[in-house]
């Protein structure tokens, strides 16, 4: 069992930041409103995620650690309209095959917490009582301790932590309603407090992308039929020399999608000097049945059923805003 999971882990667990992404997405799927991310030594030593979400009942702890166990889809038809971030049931099994993983959880309706540890070649799960408030903590220690080839690929502590910070920023931009506290080696590095008022969204964007970006960008909010595009596009004068400020989301899921990026780049076409890139934070919302998110295991890409139509919508909204305000 461990070997099969380690093979699958190659797809899901590339480096510490991919572990962080999977675990934080699980916390979001569980409805958490506060998520603590504690990192030690760039994640190689420890990645611990604590949330106040719905938790996992004692009888399902073992299942949660097994491959292809997901509580999020009941049958294949559900794949058509996935709303939750995870759905493959691979992350926990994969991570526990390449690290020492402890899962502690307490659903509100359960009197006390229980802890599960997967151990040994057969990944047998040991259960024991534990102390934990409502919610879940997943503690991942010694990542890649048993796959030395992959451990060798880890970069410096600083580089790995920078990747983790990037993941948290990307997620924090998608979920203004959730608090994120990111610590490295016992020190709080980022604290994004939840904001429930739309007029305060810009504050979190400034915290993540810089005050300058907010000052030099246009706020967009446009609806066309079932499509909605909102967010901020940087004025051409602010466009960066490197591609470090491009955040796009489809139904709350972060993306690096060719079609979206192309539409935005085209919207800037004549406005940007050569070798500069657009800066943007954009949220596209559409009917979940209009997108297929099952394209890539890491889920950074989507397939739109009406690609051309979506492309032109993004293009025209951004282009109109930019050309009205070009300077
Ligand atoms: P997936 O997210 O694709 O369902 P995972 O391996 O990431 O698969 O998680 C397996 C299952 O464990 C989830 O379907 C969910 O039921 C449960 N789970 C994982 N993390 C949490 C969490 N933080 N809170 C509540 N349940 C969780
Ligand atoms: Mg998951």
> Is 287 in contact with 212 (CB distance < 8 Å)?
no
**What separation in Å is there between the alpha carbon of 72 and the centre of ligand 1?**
8
> Is 130 in contact with 9 (CB distance < 8 Å)?
no
Pocket of ligand 1 contains residue 50 by CB under 6 Å = no
Q: Where are the beta strands (DSSP E) in 17-149?
A: 34-40, 46-51, 100-106, 113-119, 124-130, 135-141
Q: What is the pLDDT of residue 204?
A: 94
The predicted complex's ipTM stands at: 0.98
Which atom of ligand 1 lies at the shortest distance from residue 71's CA? 14
Query: Which segment of 9-13, 51-55, 61-65 scores lowest on mean pLDDT?
Result: 9-13
Question: Quick one: pLDDT band at residue 299, thresholds 50, 70, 90?
Answer: low
Apex 55 CA angle, 51 and 61, nearest 5:
120
Give me the residue label for tokens 């492309």.
311
Q: According to the CATH classification, is domain 2-192 in 3.30.565.10? A: yes
* Listed residue (102, 99, 114) closest to 55, CA to CA: 114
Q: What is the pLDDT of residue 79?
A: 47
**What separation in Å is there between the alpha carbon of 41 and the centre of ligand 1?**
25
d(CA 230, CA 216) in angstroms, rounded, equals 16
Query: Which segment of 78-92, 172-186, 214-228 scores lowest on mean pLDDT?
Result: 78-92
CA-based end-to-end distance of the chain: 60
In words, the CATH class of domain 211-325 is alpha beta
Please determine whether the domains at 2-192 and 211-325 fall in the same fold group of CATH: no
> Domain segments of the chain: what residues?
2-192, 211-325
Q: What is the pLDDT of residue 1?
A: 67
Q: Which of 35-39, 144-148, 208-212 has the highest mean pLDDT?
A: 35-39
> Is 245 in contact with 216 (CB distance < 8 Å)?
no
> Is 61 in contact with 126 (CB distance < 8 Å)?
no
Give me the residue label for tokens 């292809």.
68
Q: What is the pLDDT of residue 281?
A: 95
Average pLDDT of 31-53?
Answer: 98
Q: What is the pLDDT of residue 196?
A: 86
Residue 137 has pLDDT above 80, yes or no: yes
Residue 106 has pLDDT above 70, yes or no: yes
pLDDT in tens, 237-257: 877 665 578 899 999 888 888
Three-class SS state of 43: helix
Pocket of ligand 1 contains residue 114 by CB under 6 Å = no
Pocket of ligand 1 contains residue 43 by CB under 6 Å = no
Pocket of ligand 1 contains residue 85 by CB under 6 Å = no
Question: Quick one: pLDDT band at residue 120, thresholds 50, 70, 90?
Answer: low
Residue 208 has pLDDT above 60, yes or no: yes
Q: Which residue has the higher pLDDT, 285 or 300?
A: 285
Q: What is the pLDDT of residue 87?
A: 55
pLDDT in tens, 63-84: 999 876 666 655 545 544 445 5
Compute the mean pLDDT over every residue in the chain, rounded to the nearest whole number: 88
Q: Whose CA is nearest to atom 13 of ligand 1?
A: 70
**What separation in Å is there between the alpha carbon of 222 and the centre of ligand 1?**
34
Pocket of ligand 1 contains residue 227 by CB under 6 Å = no
Pocket of ligand 1 contains residue 46 by CB under 6 Å = no
Q: What is the pLDDT of residue 298?
A: 60
Residue 50 has pLDDT above 80, yes or no: yes
pTM of the model: 0.89
Facing residues of 128 across strands? Answer: 115
């Amino acid at each position: 069992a461990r070997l099969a999971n380690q093979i699958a882990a190659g797809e899901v667990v590339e480096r510490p930041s991919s572990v962080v992404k999977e675990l934080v997405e699980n916390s979001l799927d569980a409805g958490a409103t506060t998520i603590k991310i504690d990192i030690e030594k760039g994640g190689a030593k420890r990645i611990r995620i604590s949330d106040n979400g719905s938790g996992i009942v004692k009888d399902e702890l073992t299942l949660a650690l097994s491959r292809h166990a997901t509580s999020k889809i009941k049958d294949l038809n559900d794949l058509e309209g996935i709303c939750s971030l995870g759905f493959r049931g691979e992350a926990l099994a994969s991570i526990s095959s390449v690290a020492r993983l402890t899962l502690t959880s307490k659903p509100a309706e359960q009197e006390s917490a229980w802890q599960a540890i997967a151990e040994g070649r057969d990944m047998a799960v040991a259960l024991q009582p534990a102390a934990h408030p409502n919610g879940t903590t997943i503690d991942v220690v010694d990542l890649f301790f048993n796959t030395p080839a992959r451990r060798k690929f880890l970069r410096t502590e600083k580089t790995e932590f920078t990747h983790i910070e990037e993941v948290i920023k990307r997620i924090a931009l998608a979920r203004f309603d959730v608090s994120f506290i990111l610590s490295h080696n016992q020190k709080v590095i980022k604290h994004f407090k939840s904001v429930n008022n739309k007029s305060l969204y810009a504050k979190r964007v400034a915290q993540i992308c810089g005050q300058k970006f907010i000052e030099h960008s246009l706020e967009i909010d446009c609806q066309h039929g079932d499509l909605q595009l909102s967010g901020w596009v940087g004025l051409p004068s602010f466009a960066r020399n490197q591609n470090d400020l491009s955040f796009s989301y489809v139904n709350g899921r972060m993306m690096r999608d060719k079609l979206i990026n192309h539409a935005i780049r085209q919207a800037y076409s004549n406005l940007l000097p050569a070798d500069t890139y657009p800066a943007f934070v954009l949220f596209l919302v559409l009917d979940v049945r209009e997108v297929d998110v099952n394209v890539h295991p890491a889920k950074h890409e989507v397939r739109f059923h009406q690609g051309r139509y979506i492309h032109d919508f993004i293009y025209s909204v951004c282009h109109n805003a930019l050309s009205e305000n070009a300077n």
